[in-house]
Amino acid sequence: MKPDRLNDSNVALLEVRHLRVEFPTRKGVLRALDDVSFSIRKGETLGVVGESGAGKSLTGAAIIGLLEPPGRIAAGEIWLEGRRIDALPPDAMRSLRGKEIAAIFQDPLTSLNPLFTVGRQLTDTIQTHLPFSYTQARQRAIELLARTGISAPEVRVDHYPHQFSGGMRQRVVIALALAAEPKLIVADEPTTALDVSIQAQIIRLLKQLSRDLGTSIMLITHDMGVIAETADRVAVMYAGRLAEIGSVEAMIQRPQHPYTKGLMASIPSIRANRERLEQIEGAMPRLDAIPQGCAFHPRCPVRVDRCMQERPGLRPTAESQAACWVLAR
């Protein structure tokens, strides 16, 4: 069965349907993602936020086919532009990865080979996915470095990764991600390892590339400031499940789910006159100790009896979809 389609002007590029990821262990099976569903439209940036361990990076890894063994997709489907990709053979997935889906990771040094120049790495990637000669690939590599804001690209193309600063290395990684003109980029904490001024430059670059090239971006981060500057919509994750999803304005200004409200209240604001930031009491449960019902209920200030017994699914609210029994009343 193919995924549902939106209207022609608003077709979903990526559809994730009821995704479940499990890790078999000697003590039993740990369910790391449980019934996760969302879509990303063409040219859209979807921000995915939540505390550490919420399942953000795992969702991205499942989409690009880089789950660490023994992790596995146990249920659900992933569709890219009408084609199911979660069940592709390894060779087909490797061909798709880089050409149609690209990744940007937190530490650029894990994505760059220190033994080769950045030009060599770019030209190899380009020639792997596109029918370019070496000369054409090298010229495209120089153009990509220029597009991502690296000065003197004709010279820098022959430099090694260690000759670039952290921010410049991240720009090279973005150039690598763009090498084959992918439809979707999964960016996993792309600015976390950078200082604040460089973060702002990378955010502007991602926004510009999405606008100019029509590339869809799945932006995984714990930083709501980055989300506010970059994303069109926001998906909030908690304990391997979606708590709420909606437009960035609605989620920041008018969050509905108690967990989303807690995240928003913990962000410093120059407009708010308060002595202390609010905090969410307690901690996220371990995978082997996720409570029955709503996983957030032990920390929720407005829980009711039903929250401790039944798991809520996403339901429409005024401006978003939220998994909360209190909102459903």
From first to last of its 329 residues, the chain has per-residue pLDDT tens of 444 433 344 679 999 999 999 999 998 999 999 999 999 999 999 999 999 999 999 999 999 999 999 999 999 999 999 999 999 999 999 999 989 999 998 888 888 999 999 999 999 999 999 999 999 999 999 999 999 999 999 999 999 999 999 899 999 999 999 998 899 999 999 988 788 888 888 888 888 888 888 899 999 998 888 888 899 999 999 999 999 999 999 999 999 999 999 988 877 766 666 667 778 889 999 999 999 999 999 999 999 999 999 999 999 998 899 999 998 76
pLDDT value at residue 264: 87
pLDDT value at residue 2: 41
Residue 213 CA to residue 215 CA, distance in Å, equals 5
Task: Record the pTM.
Answer: 0.91
pLDDT value at residue 274: 65
Residue 279 CA to residue 302 CA, distance in Å, equals 15
Distances (CA, A) of 310 to 21, 23, 214, 249: 21, 24, 41, 30
Hunting for tokens 């994303």 — which residue is that? 231
pLDDT value at residue 315: 94
Side chain identity at 212, as an amino acid letter? D
Burial of 59 (0-12, 13-18, 19+ CB in 10 A): buried
CB 160 within 8 A of CB 118: yes
To 5 degrees, how large is the angle CA 49–CA 51–CA 56? Answer: 50
What residues form DSSP beta bridges with 226?
none
Residue 284 CA to residue 238 CA, distance in Å, equals 8
Side chain identity at 42, as an amino acid letter? K
3-class SS of residue 305: helix
